[in-house]
């Protein structure tokens, strides 16, 4: 039985219809997991094995295509897009990501069943030839992708002296900014901006404790060009001003 991940960005409209339309077990598929966002889908993919990923386009063409891009960077697992409008540009992008089929609205049970049977035939053929055509969890991948959150943290560490935004980082790493923000919060239990502030303030503390740098030089070193803003953030973070903090460690020393 081939396991299917269903991704549906508009859960109020098509999930129930998709679950009801084909006789999944009767044609060799098992609707194994459901996600309503790219972030949730990627979490499923990182932990589970799937033979087919079915993506409902209603609700967000952009997110659906982002997910296709993410998947195609790592796997040749069959991808089927359903729903959405008949749009030439959309169809071109679907072809670019080499999806197995694209079924715009209105999708009939006959169309979807026929599509699934075609995919099953391809999967059966691949198995007969002892080849792999499925999504395997990242930890079992022969060439796992670097942890994207670790790459974000490395970027921050190397660029603290600059103006940093998650948008800049996501563009640099070729990731969707919204997804990256969600994944960062999920993994680190804090938002990206909270993490960035923490790293800046902790570095400022170290510089104040261990160097003779002027306070304005410390501020510049961690990306603050406006001193008033640095003073405000530092006091809110530590409970004392930067000068008071340095004096505390001078007394201790």
**Same topology between domain 2-140 and domain 148-252:** no
* 67 Cβ contact partners less than 8 Å away, ≥ 6 residues apart: 7, 38, 41, 42, 55
User: Which architecture, in CATH terms, is 148-252?
Assistant: Orthogonal Bundle (1.10)
Per the structure block, which two tokens stand in for 32? 């194994």
Which portions of the chain are predicted below pLDDT 50? 138-146, 253
* Alpha helices by DSSP H, the chain: 15-20, 38-47, 61-72, 88-96, 109-128, 148-158, 166-173, 177-188, 192-210, 215-221, 227-238, 242-252
Predicted pLDDT at 89: 72
- With residue 102 as reference, give the H or E element that holds it: strand 101-103
* 184 Cβ contact partners less than 8 Å away, ≥ 6 residues apart: 149, 152, 166, 191, 192, 195
**What are the residue ranges spanned by the domains of the chain?**
2-140, 148-252
Q: Return the C-alpha torsion angle 138, 194, 151, 63, nearest 10.
A: 60
Predicted pLDDT at 143: 38
Q: 3-state class of 7 per DSSP?
A: strand
pLDDT digit string (tens) for 100-117?
Answer: 888 888 888 888 888 899
Predicted pLDDT at 141: 38
pLDDT digit string (tens) for 198-211?
Answer: 999 999 999 999 99
Predicted pLDDT at 229: 94
Predicted pLDDT at 203: 95
Contact predicate 103/92, CB 8 Å: no
d(CA 79, CA 119) in angstroms, rounded, equals: 9
The CA-atom distances, in angstroms, between 20 and each of 31, 51, 71, 248 are: 11, 20, 26, 68
Closest CA to 208 of 223, 219, 195, 197: 219
User: Which architecture, in CATH terms, is 2-140?
Assistant: 3-Layer(aba) Sandwich (3.40)
């Amino acid at each position: 039985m081939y396991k299917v991940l269903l991704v549906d960005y508009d859960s109020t409209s098509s999930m129930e219809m998709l679950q009801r339309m084909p006789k999944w077990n009767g044609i060799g598929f098992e609707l194994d997991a459901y996600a309503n966002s790219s972030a949730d889908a990627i979490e499923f993919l990182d932990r589970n094995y799937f033979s087919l990923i079915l993506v409902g386009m209603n609700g967000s063409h952009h997110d659906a295509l982002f997910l296709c891009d993410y998947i195609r960077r790592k796997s040749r697992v069959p991808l089927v897009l359903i729903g959405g409008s008949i749009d030439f540009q959309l169809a071109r992008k679907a072809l670019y990501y080499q999806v197995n089929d694209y079924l715009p609205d209105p999708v009939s049970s006959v169309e979807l069943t026929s599509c699934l049977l075609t995919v099953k035939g391809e999967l059966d053929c691949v198995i007969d030839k002892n080849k792999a055509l499925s999504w395997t969890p990242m930890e079992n991948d022969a060439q796992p992708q670097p942890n994207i959150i670790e790459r974000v943290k490395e970027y921050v560490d190397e660029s603290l002296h600059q103006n940093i935004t998650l948008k800049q980082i996501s563009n640099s790493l070729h990731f969707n900014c919204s997804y990256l923000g969600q994944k960062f919060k999920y993994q680190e239990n804090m938002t990206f901006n909270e993490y960035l502030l923490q790293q800046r303030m902790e570095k400022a503390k170290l510089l104040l404790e261990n160097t003779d740098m002027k306070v304005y030089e410390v501020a510049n070193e961690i990306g603050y060009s406006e001193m008033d803003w640095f003073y405000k953030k530092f006091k809110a973070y530590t409970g004392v001003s930067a000068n008071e903090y340095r004096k505390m460690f001078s007394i201790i020393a």
